[in-house]
Amino acid sequence: MQHQLLTISHHVARITLHNPPANVLNLSMLKELELVLNELEEDEYVRVVIVTGTGRFFCAGADINELAHLNTVHGGSEFATRGQSLLNRIERSDKPMLAAINGTCVGGGLELALACHIRVAAAGCMLGLPEIKLGLIPGFGGTQRLSRIVGPSKAAEMILTGKSVSAEEALRIGLLSRVVPPHELITQVESIAALIIAHGKTAVEAALHAIRGGIDIPLSEGLAREAELFGRLCATPDKQASVRAFLEKRQPKLAETEV
């Protein structure tokens, strides 16, 4: 795989996102993740999956250059739905999915982590959903999963301001289950995986079904609404101006904010 490294050992598969410098989720990377999930879903040897990143980033989200070309409702909704479908597969996997957040985790990267069943981060990492700064909203499930995990008030604050929180704050609000020293991240996540593997496969699968069973129906409705809104925003002048400004490293001039 061009943008991912897959290793399997002791019933644990590790997916390492590798798309320097920021491990962005471009279309090529999304396709590769789909192929990796296909492989792991069929592999009876694999009991637990760990997702992590290389370098200073876990994942910085969608490729801004690709977002810049999403200027229609249909194109935007289709893009959001594809990302949602991939992350739904992660959330609904019969194999526990663990996010080992090694660095900055924002936008689609945080949405990827939110879809995982357990999230552990290295101390000092920053996590956030900054899409509002591009005239958009999270489109890969962030508006739905974040509010279910940290509550609607804190989720609204993070999404509406676009500000990131530290790993320590993310732990306090329940976004993470652990924050560990960076050099211990993989070791500690692997220790969680080992504890899970020590239990019966059938019981683990049943537990996952029970945990997610209560939110499946409302989540699917929320995701459909999110994709619709994301698509509408892709066709707005403010989104286009914001993305251009980001690529040109300047502040955007937005019609809606002019006095």
pLDDT in tens, 108-129: 999 999 999 999 999 999 999 9
93 token code pair: 């996997």
Q: Hey, where are the domains in the chain? A: 4-185
Alpha carbons 122 and 44: distance in angstroms, whole number: 30
Amino acid at 160: L
Phi-psi group of 130: left, alpha or beta (phi > 0 → left; psi -120 to 50 → alpha; rest → beta): alpha
Sign of CA dihedral 145, 118, 76, 138: positive
| 131 noted as active-site residue | yes
pLDDT (0 to 100) of residue 124: 96
pLDDT (0 to 100) of residue 222: 78
CB neighbour burial string for 23-59, b if at least 16 within 10 angstroms, e if fewer: bbbbeebbebbeebbeebeeeeebbbbbbbbbeebbb
Mean pLDDT over 1-12 rounds to: 85
Nearest to 120 by CA among 153, 136, 96: 96
The single residue of 32, 91, 111, 190 carrying the catalytic annotation is 111
Query: Which one is predicted more confidently, 211 or 152?
Result: 152
Per residue in 185-242, pLDDT (tens digit) is 999 999 999 999 998 888 888 888 888 766 665 777 878 888 988 998 898 888 888 8
The single residue of 32, 91, 131, 226 carrying the catalytic annotation is 131
User: Which residue is it, tokens 């704050």?
Assistant: 169
> Is 132's pLDDT higher than 70?
yes
Q: How confident is the model at residue 1 (pLDDT cuts 50, 70, 90)?
A: low
132: DSSP letter? G
Under CATH, which number does the domain 4-185 receive?
Answer: 3.90.226.10
pLDDT (0 to 100) of residue 43: 96
pLDDT (0 to 100) of residue 221: 80
Q: pTM higher than 0.85 for the full model?
A: yes
